[in-house]
Amino acid sequence: KLSNEKFVANAKPEIIANERKKQSDAEAKIKTLEESLSLM
């Protein structure tokens, strides 16, 4: 959603903040999974 300029331009700031939080949470989860895989 954040890569869609129209979405970002029209969305309320709190919605943008929520989407950014979801993105950072997902990135943290991916990083944790990648670290777990590298230990196997």
Neighbouring C-alpha atoms within 13 Å toward the C-beta of 1: 14
Q: Which two tokens stand for residue 9?
A: 């331009």
**What's the pLDDT tens digit per position in 14-34?**
998 998 999 999 999 999 999
The predicted pLDDT at position 16 comes to 85
**Residue 36 banded pLDDT, cuts 50, 70, 90:** very high
